[in-house]
Structure 1
Amino acid sequence: MLQALMNLFSLCWKPFGRDADRIDSIGVIGREGKDGLLWFRDFGKYGSGDFSMAVVQANQVLEDQSQIESGPLGTFVGIYDGHGGPDASRYVCDHLFRHFQAISAESRGVVTTETIERAFRQTEEGYMALVSGSWNARPHIASAGTCCLVGVIFQQTLFVANAGDSRVVLGKKVGNTGGMAAIQLSTEHNANLEAVRQELKELHPHDPQIVVLKHGVWRVKGIIQVSRSIGDVYLKHAQFNREPLNAKFRLPEPMNMPILSANPTILSHALQPNDSFLIFASDGLWEHLSNEKAVDIVNSNPHAVRLFLPCLDFLVVLISVMVVSSSGHKMHGWGGRLIEPSGCIKNWMRASPVY
């Protein structure tokens, strides 16, 4: 019975991404071209929406991943800001939505906070199993991790789940003046925030080095800025903080409890007619744009590529962006990804749910 439900549910969430670039009954592809390292698609129809994208790559390793999955049941957006290598972000991109599908199928497609929590937990457990099974041959993947920002639009409710320091900001119309308010809908987990440092100190009261200020930046154990992520199992399980892991990741003292967490903070927001668009982005964008500035840019020209223009002087910054905008009570979207420095990828996409 469960498999039958899974088969039915899978038809209600269609992928937009690596395997969805063909012309078929659900997609009509517009102008496409390649110029050196630049690849672009100006226009594509997907279900009842459209998208555009462009890619330019200079380096070999791409640590970020992003995805849109859309169908009659709603829309799933994921931004996975990897660090320490691409293994964790790729794993999350390949498995998180699959877990979300399977868990939702158990409740006939209903999405709740618990649905998303379980999907995160199963993805974390799966990555830990991958590290365990690869320990002797690939110990370095124990030090790979990814921030994980997910948005799920289901029955006019937006669920936002975040583990790490990515952010989602809502652009909301204010009255009839054409003004737009910027409302942050996510909670971040970065040691540069006083609340995060306090949380870590309360969880580890006997560890004076739980957060360390290095070169003006607060880091957990002097190593990593984020306190929550998927992966980074070397800071969660003692069996992965030993040889043959690179010495720079090994702690000098025994690890008696997990230092980082994979538990996301999940918020819900009832979508309103004056909710115009959502900006999902990794921390690189917000280092250079305030919430208000980003909303002003998208409100003036609703293409995520415009968000990158103020950042062009900071091309070493790693940025992932997805912009989803409203049309009446339905959400459709366009978005983009600027990946620097390891991948040097610029990627813009536009898609909409099929309700």
Structure 2
Amino acid sequence: MFSWLARIALACWRPVSRYARMNKDYNNSNSDELEEDSFSLRDSLLWCRDLEKHSCGDFSFAVVQANEIIEDHSQVETGKDAIFVGVYDGHGGPDASRFISDHLFQNLITGLARANGTISEDILRNAFSATEDGFLALVRRSCGIKPLIAAIGSCCLVGVIWRGTLYVANLGDSRAVIGYLGRSNKIVAEQLTRDHNASIEEVRQELRSLHPDDSHIVVMKHGVWRIKGIIQVSRSIGDAYLKRPEFSLDPSFPRFHLSEPIRRPVLTAEPLLCTRVLQPSDKFLIFASDGLWEHLTNQQAVEIVSNSPRAGIARRLIKTALNEAARKREMRYDDLKKVDKGIRRFFHDDITVVVIFIDQESLSTKMPVLEQSVKGFADSIGPSNFNIL
């Protein structure tokens, strides 16, 4: 039996004539792969780049939309000896995630220029800080005519590979996972980021220790732990109303109304960072918004990547997650593909996946690679200014 949500979705099917505008993005796929998985030809909400080159290997990139307006923004920037990956999972609207996509990488480039092309954790941290400051300035300018912009925010996951070293910075519950060869040459998943989500006991304890005088800093609401009963993520870009008293929303917006003004920021935009010198056993990285990890474990994801062809692997991960989302709702996968945006959000979130393959021979040699900027869910690819030499 279909659930009541499935019945709503089934009523909103669209005819086959509306199928995908993005099938042109299969320019790097082989015919066998297309025949096996015609997902994009059947679903206008999927965008992908099946396989592209970067300075130390290949990458695969895919996004599927669930919301009426997509809130996942993302990008890959390739340079002569570096690659940048950004996954920005917005909430409350697309404004923050879109702003990050337009500004964070440029803030990083500015920092690199000042540091004479040398990347570091401080350079990444400063890029996050400049992006947060820029978006809060936009909120200040806009809140008079668009007050709800104060309640818009975004998770922010960034990875940079430069000269054989990986730098990762994260806010929120998007996740970076590395697949490496362990004992007996079995692929092993290692999570490189920490989920900043109130569903995790460690995060709740951290919030309680930072706010000892606030007994409602985390509360259970409708079976879900939420910060101030409103939001699940504890770190983000934006969400100004939970960071600065001047952005508090009045009671006419009950969903975002606080019982009393905040005395100190409830959320933070301070990212957690990690640095890793890539080893010969490190084979690939998966950067994805939480919509993927809601349906797949880290180990399941790396095994799929390890056991599948490179071309279209980001799309394959999304397809596997959507199969699981359909199963949980007692639907068939083919039925889920016919559900339109907006209604689709009852079944799964917007999902962004970027898989970065690490080829050791490319790490030690300077491979000529086109410097390009690829934006998720965008129809065009442009040149990138990612040159940190």
> TM-score higher than 0.5 here?
yes
- Alignment correspondent of 1:178: 185
Shift in CA distance, 127/295, structure 1 to aligned 2, threshold 3 Å: same
Paired residue type of 1:289: L
Q: Are 1:223 and 2:245 an aligned pair? A: no
Q: Are 1:139 and 2:147 an aligned pair? A: yes
Shift in CA distance, 242/41, structure 1 to aligned 2, threshold 3 Å: closer
Does the Cα contact within 8 Å between 2:187 and 2:303 map onto a contact in 1? yes
Aligned residue for 2:216, secondary structure, equals coil
Alignment of 1:77-92 (within 5 A): 77-92=85-100
- CA drift of 1:157 comes to 1.0
- Alignment correspondent of 2:359: 327
Instruction: Spell out, residue by residue over 1:278-307, the C-alpha distance to the aligned partner (whole angstroms, 9 max, x if none).
Output: 111111211221111111111001412222
- CA drift of 1:246 comes to 2.2
Does the Cα contact within 8 Å between 1:76 and 1:151 map onto a contact in 2? yes
How far apart, in 2, do the equivalents of 1:168 and 1:58 lie? 22
- CA drift of 1:215 comes to 2.1
How far apart, in 1, do the equivalents of 2:204 and 2:47 lie? 42
How far apart, in 2, do the equivalents of 1:42 and 1:195 lie? 37
How far apart, in 1, do the equivalents of 2:188 and 2:51 lie? 30
The count of aligned residue pairs is: 312
Shift in CA distance, 202/42, structure 1 to aligned 2, threshold 3 Å: closer
Deviates more, 1:115-124 or 1:319-328: 319-328
Shift in CA distance, 221/269, structure 1 to aligned 2, threshold 3 Å: same
Shift in CA distance, 326/124, structure 1 to aligned 2, threshold 3 Å: same
- Alignment correspondent of 1:273: 280
Paired residue type of 1:197: R
- CA drift of 1:140 comes to 1.2
With the length of structure 1 as denominator, give the TM-score of the two structures.
0.79
Q: Are 1:263 and 2:270 an aligned pair? A: yes
Match of 2:70 among 38, 42, 62: 62
Q: Are 1:105 and 2:113 an aligned pair? A: yes
- CA drift of 1:86 comes to 0.3
Shift in CA distance, 45/73, structure 1 to aligned 2, threshold 3 Å: closer
Q: Structure 1, unaligned stretches of length 5 or more? A: 1-28, 333-338, 340-344
- CA drift of 1:312 comes to 2.2
Normalized per residue, the structure richer in strand is: 1
Aligned residue for 1:312, secondary structure, equals helix
- CA drift of 1:130 comes to 0.1
Instruction: Spell out, residue by residue over 1:59-87, the C-alpha distance to the aligned partner (whole angstroms, 9 max, x if none).
Output: 64110011001102411100101100000
- Alignment correspondent of 2:314: 304
Paired residue type of 1:300: N
Instruction: Spell out, residue by residue over 1:76-116, the C-alpha distance to the aligned partner (whole angstroms, 9 max, x if none).
Output: 10010110000000000000000000001101111101001
Aligned residue for 1:142, secondary structure, equals helix
How far apart, in 2, do the equivalents of 1:112 and 1:246 lie? 41
How far apart, in 1, do the equivalents of 2:66 and 2:191 lie? 33
Instruction: Spell out, residue by residue over 1:169-205, the C-alpha distance to the aligned partner (whole angstroms, 9 max, x if none).
Output: 1100125x43111111111211111111111011110
With the length of structure 2 as denominator, give the TM-score of the two structures.
0.72
Deviates more, 1:60-69 or 1:299-308: 299-308
- Alignment correspondent of 1:15: none
Shift in CA distance, 111/144, structure 1 to aligned 2, threshold 3 Å: same
Does the Cα contact within 8 Å between 1:273 and 1:329 map onto a contact in 2? no
How far apart, in 2, do the equivalents of 1:181 and 1:113 lie? 26
How far apart, in 1, do the equivalents of 2:177 and 2:222 lie? 29
Does the Cα contact within 8 Å between 2:60 and 2:356 map onto a contact in 1? no
Aligned residue for 2:262, secondary structure, equals coil
How far apart, in 2, do the equivalents of 1:136 and 1:309 lie? 42
Question: Cα RMSD (Å) of the superposition?
Answer: 3.2
- Alignment correspondent of 2:333: none
Structure ranking higher on relative contact order (CA contacts 8 Å, 6+ apart)? 2
How far apart, in 1, do the equivalents of 2:52 and 2:206 lie? 46
How far apart, in 2, do the equivalents of 1:41 and 1:294 lie? 18
How far apart, in 2, do the equivalents of 1:122 and 1:266 lie? 16
Shift in CA distance, 330/216, structure 1 to aligned 2, threshold 3 Å: farther
Shift in CA distance, 96/85, structure 1 to aligned 2, threshold 3 Å: same
How far apart, in 2, do the equivalents of 1:65 and 1:145 lie? 12
- Alignment correspondent of 1:13: none
- CA drift of 1:309 comes to 3.4
- Alignment correspondent of 1:193: 200
Shift in CA distance, 71/311, structure 1 to aligned 2, threshold 3 Å: same
Paired residue type of 1:149: L
- CA drift of 1:310 comes to 3.1
Instruction: Spell out, residue by residue over 1:245-300, the C-alpha distance to the aligned partner (whole angstroms, 9 max, x if none).
Output: 72321211121110000000001111001100011111121122111111111100
Q: Are 1:150 and 2:158 an aligned pair? A: yes
Aligned residue for 2:111, secondary structure, equals helix
Normalized per residue, the structure richer in helix is: 2
Q: Are 1:74 and 2:106 an aligned pair? A: no
- CA drift of 1:47 comes to 6.6
Deviates more, 1:113-122 or 1:39-48: 39-48
Does the Cα contact within 8 Å between 1:131 and 1:142 map onto a contact in 2? yes
